[in-house]
Structure 1
Amino acid sequence: MVGKVAISAVSLVLVVGVVIGMVAVVHRSDSPDNDKHNMSASMKAVTTICAPTTYKDACVRSLESVANNETATPKDYIMAAILATLDEVKKSFNVTGKTVVNKDDDPYDHMAVEDCKDLLDDAIDTLQASYSSVGESDMHTIQDRANELRSWMTAVYSLQSSCLDQIQKPEYKSAIENGMINATQLTHNAINIIAELSEVLKTFNVPINLQANRRRLLDVGEIGEDGYPTWFGAADRKLMEAHQKGGVAPNAVVAKDGSGQFKTVAAALAAYPKNFNGRYTIYVKAGVYEEFITMDKKQTNVFIYGDGPGKSIITGNRNYGIMKIGTMKTATFSAVGNGFIARGLTFRNDAGPDGHQAVALRVQSDMAAIFDCSIEGYQDTLYYHAFRQFYRNCVISGTVDFIFGMGDAVIQNSLIIVRKPNANQQNTITADGREVARGTNGLVLQNCRIIPEKELFPLRFQIPTYLARPWKAEALTVTMQSELGDLIRPEGYMKWDGANFHQTCEFYEFANRGPGSDTSKRSKEFTKFKVLNAGEAAKYTPGQFLSGSQWLKNTGVPFQLGL
């Protein structure tokens, strides 16, 4: 996971350190009074940095070596927190590596443990990049970079959690879980430390002007008629229009009839050059491609486009219900490399409702943008697994938890189609998996339409359909400025069986319309449910929630950063 985001995240830590180091250096002295002062200053630093954390003992232990350094600056403390987390995640990876599951006797848990290794390896990459890739990116404001770093730490936590979620048998799960306790606690702490970074700076008397040089966020009226921001230059607009029309010369052409360089999408991705720089573009001609694709972490900045949804179709049928394949591995298309962009394609899992968990598209790519695509399935259709993701002008269909994940995701100007489930099932459109309250992750539906498919329409009042249910304790889901059809139950939300997540999750609505938008009868069991005002809703727009002003302009995807 070495990418531009990691570099700029590290720049935050370094810049903070340089500034703070000027005011917080503790001078060496052999006098008892100064020793006492040094100890007091060190303890103040540790206390301040660990104050917002949940696992304070673990936080203090991780900073002990720095606290013993008389000349340590707050930069040293923050870097120590990241390094301690990295060391513990490496230990977790080693524990997982020693967990052996016989493939023939238990193919499910064998694959789950292998997936766990991959996820922890990705977490290690993210932490290493955040720690070691120093000062090579453009500088942003302190607050912007803090949000970026917090997003990466949140993703590290999500990857660890996903590792455990896959494993079923207690003898394997408990061994790995015990080996991950320190890592998850320190990652949790790191998220909270970064979330309160501005307060830490204030404590050390570092002057901060969070508004200085802040990149201007768009508001209503700053989107042009073509859907692009009005402040884009002519060259940028021309490039974006070329992307939209498929006018950019591709690096690889895929065609089933042999008219391209490759007959499969997998072959085109396999041709991704080693140490490639720039945007690797794949054009998928019209056709049905029955494949299972994983775009790995070394395949960054891939732009894959087709002749349009319903024409260029990537499809599979892997599933848990029939095949007993873990959810992560059911995905027809998995995007892991950072900077993934997709346009004009259908991603489909046609396992049907009997397949239960059956993912069409899994995205574990930071700064990913999916535009004008159809994402089709039943249960668990779209898995926004980790990192920042933006969806626009898409059609997403399914039944149970069909938009779910642990990433930072905004779905904008899209059509959400609820399908007919199996007998005795209900429809739950979303299931967010946020676990750390100060994490950056969650799901936002903005200016979308939610409707039933033709087969569900006559049964829409008999088969319950809910906006969301909380997959994890701190789940965050915001539905705003959207048209909600009459299929949405008045109570709006469904509890997660066997859990009390309805008491801790955050489900919000703002300025919705349509017969399903009446909030007067929303379930009172969801104690944190709230109808937001405009100022509160603005926090969940792409500009703020995804720090979209920093990267969306480079995707070629139309977007709106504000309300």
Structure 2
Amino acid sequence: MEAKKKIGLSVVSLILVVGAVIGVVAVVKNANTNDKASSPAVANNEQKPSSTVKAVEAFCAPTDFKDLCTNTLQNVANNQTATPKDYIMAIIQATLDEIKNSLGHTEKTVVNKETDPYNHMAVEDCKDLLDQAIGTLQASYSMVGDSELHTLQDRADELRSWMTSVYALQSTCKDQIEKPEYKSAIENGMVNATQLTHNAVNILAELSEAFKGFDLPLNFMKPSARRLMGVNSYPSWFSQADRRLLRGQKGGHIQPNVVVAKDGSGQFKTINDAINAYPKNHQGRFIIYVKAGVYEEFIVIDKKKSDIMIYGDGAGVTIVTGKRNFGIMNIGTMNTATFSTNAPGFIARRMTFRNYAGPEGHQAVALRINGDRAAVFECNIEGYQDTLYYHTSRQFYRDCLISGTIDFIFGMGDAVIQNSVIVVRRPKDNQLNTITADGRELQRGSNGLVLQNCRIVPEKELEPVKFTIPSYFGRPWKALALTVVMQSDIADFIRPEGWVPWSTTDPKYFYHKTCQYYEHANRGPGANTDKRSKEFKNFRVLGPQEAGKYTPGLFLRGHEWLQNTQVPYQLGL
């Protein structure tokens, strides 16, 4: 994980040094109550009709940085004809402006590439991450501007997911930088941006309450009807065209844009060359078929190359592999990924993504996804530590095999893994296994991880020592980590405690006191919850109604986009 810098996880515990410092913005107020007439700002406030005051109060009520929120909305509140859309757009625009300022500040941080290659790359990555955040905010602004007022509430969860990803991108930027002189300089330049993003997430989480500050029709708050599809439908964020596409692919009738083959029988011999052939200003799906073979490549899909679908001849047959890692090569976690995408609408099917650095490589990612509406089907994702990085935004995995040892499913996105096999491997002798490590940081953030209807099993090499090497569902990477394991078959090797703290020695990382770990309707010898760790203050076994909140239909709003992926899925329990 970014900046975890752990050289393997000892049975005792390790301490993560995370630099996610949020400062306090000082807001200067005019305190001279006897000089109101000479202060235009105060005079304007006195002249505002109560309706605009009510609107600002309603929008800022759920925020943690209320003075900053009030100042952000001051100009729009002075406009007596402003609509709720104007208020939301003002929030987004202010956040966008501050992140642009943060990027400008970061660009002034210079690290010598020759003498400090790790932090040089970390700062360069930080610039890219902030640039991605800017792109997400610009898309959010356009979404609000182009939407009818009555549809905004239906899209609030989508906007909240985007804003949560903006926060995660800023957090990743700061986390991965090692040296305090660089980290503090960049953090100081991002205070306003992180606070404004935090406010935006809270507002969008309570948008129906914010709208009550306006005189809107009584039926305006009623949610639109939602149709939750069942088993073997396609994820609803998939378009009808994508559904036809994947049905055709299953029958062997799909027509790719380009073909990759090591033997020269396609247009390209490498996957990178195929991705580079993505046409400028391309519209619709760009389909890459990768024939059987082992492709040792380092792949990063640019954020502008949206809606790429890549499919192979089968998991274990079409293999993308690499060995970039932190432990031996001193490469930052984000950049160890064999295959990464920063673009929305990514689909992968019938592929293997592998990082073969082994346990000695420590952090070594096989697949990293940083893009909204991603779907991965019938794929193997293989590694040891930090195998699958669900970096940001909404992601859905179905009928996959995911293997690893330490924190091998981790990230800050909104991820559901359904009907998949989770294989826990044998780590080094002085290590323990933790399947998940979620990085949720905001109480009202949209993100978290759900394992639904999966099988959690040990690999053959772990079997003889499965009771001497501790294995757990996971540990909290960040303070408000959210992970749900439900309707899954749990083998006997999972410790009765179920979950393990990030640290039991440093109060700064007592995330087990604040994280949210839930289980529901699991099966098998490892599913008994009677002896779950009492250190996790918020751990609960959920009933059906509560568990339903974490199904793809609601947690990912999958009814809106999964159908477009053309793959099977289940939206409910």
Which residue of structure 2 lines up, in the alignment, with residue 94 of structure 1? 104
| TM-score w.r.t. length of structure 2 | 0.88
Change (3 A) 1:147 1:237: closer
Q: How much is the aligned-residue C-alpha RMSD, in angstroms?
A: 2.2
Given candidates 127, 148, 159, the residue that maps to 2:169 is 159
Which residue of structure 2 lines up, in the alignment, with residue 54 of structure 1? 64
Q: 1:558: Cα distance to partner?
A: 0.8
The DSSP-based 3-state class of the residue aligned with 2:473 is: strand
| TM-score w.r.t. length of structure 1 | 0.90
C-alpha distance in 2 between matches for 1:404 and 1:250: 32
Aligned partners of 1:223 and 1:229 also within 8 Å = no
Given candidates 394, 398, 409, the residue that maps to 1:392 is 398
Which residue of structure 1 lines up, in the alignment, with residue 89 of structure 2? 79
Change (3 A) 1:177 1:289: same
The one-character-per-residue Cα deviations of 1:10-65 (angstroms, maximum 9, x if unpaired) are xxxxxxxxxxxxxxxxxxxxxx9998562533332222211101111221221222
Given candidates 425, 436, 446, the residue that maps to 2:442 is 436
The DSSP-based 3-state class of the residue aligned with 2:410 is: strand
Q: 1:267: Cα distance to partner?
A: 0.3
Aligned partners of 1:375 and 1:394 also within 8 Å = yes
Given candidates 196, 201, 226, the residue that maps to 1:215 is 226
C-alpha distance in 1 between matches for 2:149 and 2:93: 23
Which residue of structure 1 lines up, in the alignment, with residue 475 of structure 2? 469
Change (3 A) 1:506 1:258: same
C-alpha distance in 2 between matches for 1:508 and 1:52: 25
C-alpha distance in 1 between matches for 2:242 and 2:431: 47
Which residue of structure 2 lines up, in the alignment, with residue 504 of structure 1? 514
The 5 A counterparts of 1:1-80 are: 36=46, 38-80=48-90
Q: Which runs of no fewer than 5 residues in structure 2 stay unpaired?
A: 1-41
The 5 A counterparts of 1:81-480 are: 81-133=91-143, 141-206=151-216, 207-208=218-219, 213-218=224-229, 222-223=230-231, 228=234, 239-480=245-486
The DSSP-based 3-state class of the residue aligned with 2:415 is: strand
Change (3 A) 1:281 1:233: closer
The aligned amino acid for 1:260 is G
C-alpha distance in 2 between matches for 1:245 and 1:530: 43
Change (3 A) 1:234 1:305: closer
The DSSP-based 3-state class of the residue aligned with 1:516 is: coil
Aligned partners of 1:144 and 1:547 also within 8 Å = no
The percent identity for this pair of structures is 66
Given candidates 519, 535, 556, the residue that maps to 2:545 is 535
Q: 1:238: Cα distance to partner?
A: 5.1
C-alpha distance in 1 between matches for 2:222 and 2:83: 25
Change (3 A) 1:247 1:92: same
Change (3 A) 1:316 1:140: farther
The one-character-per-residue Cα deviations of 1:140-187 (angstroms, maximum 9, x if unpaired) are 954430101101000100000010111000010000011011100000
Which stretch shows the higher mean deviation, 238-247 or 122-131? 238-247
C-alpha distance in 1 between matches for 2:231 and 2:383: 32
C-alpha distance in 1 between matches for 2:146 and 2:276: 29
Q: 1:137: Cα distance to partner?
A: 7.2
Aligned partners of 2:156 and 2:205 also within 8 Å = yes
Q: 1:265: Cα distance to partner?
A: 0.2
The one-character-per-residue Cα deviations of 1:168-207 (angstroms, maximum 9, x if unpaired) are 0001000001101110000000000011101122343432
Change (3 A) 1:86 1:431: same
Q: 1:240: Cα distance to partner?
A: 3.1
Q: Which runs of no fewer than 5 residues in structure 1 stay unpaired?
A: 1-31
C-alpha distance in 2 between matches for 1:34 and 1:68: 8
Change (3 A) 1:68 1:373: same
C-alpha distance in 1 between matches for 2:348 and 2:182: 37
Q: Which has the higher contact order (CA 8 A, sep 6+)?
A: 2
Aligned partners of 1:141 and 1:210 also within 8 Å = no
Which stretch shows the higher mean deviation, 450-459 or 124-133? 124-133
C-alpha distance in 2 between matches for 1:557 and 1:402: 25
The DSSP-based 3-state class of the residue aligned with 2:518 is: strand
Residues matched between the structures, number:
526
Which residue of structure 2 lines up, in the alignment, with residue 5 of structure 1? none
The DSSP-based 3-state class of the residue aligned with 1:259 is: coil
